[in-house]
Amino acid sequence: MIQNPILKGFNPDPSIIRVGEDYYIATSTFEWFPGVQIHHSRDLKNWKVIAQPLNRLSQLDMKGNPDSCGVWAPCLSYDNGTFYLVYSNVRSFDGVWKDTPNYLVTSDDITGEWSEPIYLSSRGFDGSMFHDSDGKKYFLNMLVDHRKGKFFGGIELQEYDVDRKQLVGEVHYLHSGTSLGCTEGPHIFKRDDYYYLLLAEGGTEYGHAESIARSKSLLGPYELHPDTSIISCSDAPSHGLQKSGHGDFVETSDGQWYFVFLVGRPLTERGRCILGRETAIEEIEWKANGWPYLKSGSKLPRLEVPGLDVEDFTFKKPDERNDFDAEALSLDFQSLRIPKEESWISLKERKGFLRLKGKESLSSTHKQALVARRVQHFKVEASTSIEFDPKDILEMAGLVFYYNTGHYHYLHVTSNYKGTTKLLRIISSDYFEMSEQVQEVDITGQDSIVLKGILDQNILQFYYSVDRGDKFYTIGEMLDASILSDDYVRDRDERYRPAFTGMFVGMCCQDLAYNRKHADFDWFEYKEID
């Protein structure tokens, strides 16, 4: 049996393909760099991140992008030996105007180097590539319509010319969506005589759904599924998996069909999903009327789904502790908006340590010295050993549980104004309202400090150790970890603004005075607590 979700933690908007016996899923990364996570499996049950293809500034420049902008809803496809990856780099979101350039990169090796980007258009986002049986290729997107606050303007299609490396010909308006509204995330696939158009609808929250339409002509008109949507939890608030929608179909080598889609797992009924939007899977059956349905006979995603009759896809699980002895960081770690460059992050300058050179504040959308990994479990212990010698109140480094520039909990090493006293402090940010806990710990004379955070669903407690982790002491009060969630951020802001990511935990360093003071991290550990 396959346990849902198959991709835990912030991994939304799945796009799936099969090449031979190998399955690949691409998921959104938003402001986290490198862009796009590509996951690999052979059994649809066990998945491993094998590539983050947008790893050069020439492919993905996100400096200054607002929170939850950047890479939205990539589409991974394959045709005649070439992998195609379409992605949006959303540059602005507030107000009626949305800047949503879409690009295409290609590669003949999914784990190799991907091409320089080909600009497609900026008419909308959630771009998708369809390879027709006659050899022609087409680009789909959701249209951003600014008129009268409409925003979701329907689905468009335009031909892509491989030789000229650009879109050509007329833009065709395919579908306006259904009464569910918020129509986005289009994918087209062909089966027998029909073109099937998948649509993410209802918004990516608790009303989310996946609708489907079909036509015998690529350009339509498209008729809607008898049930409109094939999956939705909108009428089942107590169901264990929520927010189901925005997905993609895949056919196995023996003719079975599966559907991958995003879900959320709230802490309480329709409450906060601290792990962000995740990816789940369901079986599809095709009925005599030529329409797909969930094989379970319901619109609700199951926690367990029958898998393939194949050998388990096995691979070495990452160690809980990373000692920073390798030449490159694990793919688990991502940076914010900017590439991991030697100018601010190094595994070479001090062997066996990760060195971070302090840059801008945790509120910056430009250049932060921060590396973090997804929180993928509801109960987690994360810790790191740090050596840092601050001489200014503007020099800080430590362990951070992070959602975005306005929401985080930060246990850090800093100093007093004169630089004579080394201190441990906690800063929390709740929609940019900063709070500093009263308790400060004097750690003057201590070279190495172990910082730890224990997450238990909505509660986060920080700890520290001055004897390399033999004995830990509590620091500060218990913190509300649920503010590090899409749901809280949306509810907190009276305006609509994007909040689409998930909780990360990692290491960071700030030198707000000169952008040069460094901190050395000996190791980082992440482990699930039973």
Band (161; pLDDT cuts 50, 70, 90): very high
State whether 110 and 186 are in the same domain: yes
The pLDDT value recorded for residue 115 is: 98
Residue 316: inside a domain: no
Whether the Cβ atoms of residue 306 and residue 296 lie closer than 8 Å to each other: no
Residue 314: inside a domain: no
Does 259 score more than 70 pLDDT? Answer: yes
Q: Which residue, among 112, 107, 100, has the nearest Cα to 151 in the 3D structure?
A: 100
* Cis before 74? omega within 30: no
CA distance 474 to 129: 52
* Total domains, the chain: 2
The pLDDT value recorded for residue 95 is: 83
| Helix, strand, coil share (%) of the chain residues, nearest 5 | 0, 50, 45
Q: Which residues pair with 526 in a beta bridge?
A: 382
Q: Which region, left, alpha or beta, applies to residue 21 given φ > 0 means left and ψ of -120 to 50 means alpha?
A: alpha
CA distance 205 to 276: 11
Active site residues: 13, 184
Specify the 3-state DSSP secondary structure of 374. strand
* Cis before 221? omega within 30: yes
Q: What percent of the chain has pLDDT over 70?
A: 99
Mean pLDDT on 293-310: 97
State whether 297 and 328 are in the same domain: no
Does 494 score more than 60 pLDDT? Answer: no
Mean pLDDT on 355-362: 98
Range(s) of the domain holding residue 298? 2-305
State whether 483 and 363 are in the same domain: yes
State whether 107 and 36 are in the same domain: yes
Residue 208: inside a domain: yes
State whether 342 and 274 are in the same domain: no
CATH of the domain at 456: 2.60.120.200
Residue 265: inside a domain: yes
The pLDDT value recorded for residue 73 is: 97
State whether 274 and 409 are in the same domain: no
CA distance 147 to 164: 33
State whether 92 and 148 are in the same domain: yes
Q: Give the residue from 252, 272, 305 where a domain finishes.
A: 305
Mean pLDDT on 60-86: 98
CA distance 125 to 151: 11
Residue 355: inside a domain: yes
State whether 335 and 277 are in the same domain: no
Mean pLDDT on 372-401: 98
In the block, residue with structure tokens 């909308």: 124
State whether 488 and 364 are in the same domain: yes
Residue 310: inside a domain: no
Band (358; pLDDT cuts 50, 70, 90): very high
The pLDDT value recorded for residue 439 is: 86
Q: Which range has the worst mean pLDDT, 111-120, 484-493, 518-527?
A: 484-493
Comparing 439 with 489, which gets the higher pLDDT?
489
CATH of the domain at 32: 2.115.10.20
The pLDDT value recorded for residue 96 is: 85
State whether 299 and 355 are in the same domain: no
The pLDDT value recorded for residue 495 is: 55
State whether 512 and 484 are in the same domain: yes
Contacts by 15-18, CB closer than 8 A, 24 or more apart: 15/73, 15/74, 15/75, 15/76, 15/77, 15/128, 15/187, 15/248, 16/76, 16/248, 16/249, 16/250, 16/258, 16/260, 17/76, 17/77, 17/78, 17/250, 18/250, 18/251, 18/252, 18/253
Tens of pLDDT, residues 414-450 = 999 999 999 999 999 999 998 888 789 999 999 999 9
Band (298; pLDDT cuts 50, 70, 90): very high
In the block, residue with structure tokens 């983050």: 52
CA distance 16 to 284: 14
Band (493; pLDDT cuts 50, 70, 90): low
The pLDDT value recorded for residue 329 is: 96
Does 144 score more than 80 pLDDT? Answer: yes
Comparing 280 with 317, which gets the higher pLDDT?
280
Band (318; pLDDT cuts 50, 70, 90): confident
State whether 230 and 352 are in the same domain: no
Q: Give the residue from 258, 276, 305 where a domain finishes.
A: 305
Residue 371: inside a domain: yes
Does 524 score more than 70 pLDDT? Answer: yes
Residue 42: inside a domain: yes
Residues 6+ apart with CB under 8 A from 334: 29, 32, 33, 34, 52, 371, 372, 373, 504
